[in-house]
Amino acid sequence: MIVCITSQNNSTDSEIDPRFGRAAYFIIYDTEAKKTNIIKNDNMDGSSGVGIQSAQVMINNKVEYVITGNIGPKAGSALNAANIKVKEGATGKVIDAINSL
């Protein structure tokens, strides 16, 4: 399974970012290959539509599951339409979220 955890910095030791669309980084983790890919979120400073643009990043990276603090309604709808599952309300470190998978 390919999972994305929103992150405040570019490390698995970082705190989970409470925002999806404006998260600083996306930590993409492949549970089968045990590989991590860190993506800087170029959409975080956009004026509008950042949630949908960030959802497109998930689609492009074949993400199946997103772990974050909060997702807005438009991004949530886009992820739902792409059959990407979402866990909201996540806190703590990215590595702890990875280890709980």
Does pLDDT of 77 surpass 90?
A: yes
Q: Which residues of 42-78 are buried (b: 16+ CB within 10 A; e: fewer)?
A: ebbeeeeebbbbbbebbeeeebebbbbbebbeebbeb
Total structural domains in the chain? 1
pLDDT tens column, 30-74: 999 999 999 999 988 888 889 999 999 999 999 999 999 999 999
Q: Which pLDDT score is estimated for 41?
A: 96
Whole domain around residue 94: which residue ranges?
2-99
Domain with residue 71: its CATH number is: 3.30.420.130
pLDDT tens column, 57-67: 999 999 999 99
Does pLDDT of 8 surpass 90?
A: yes
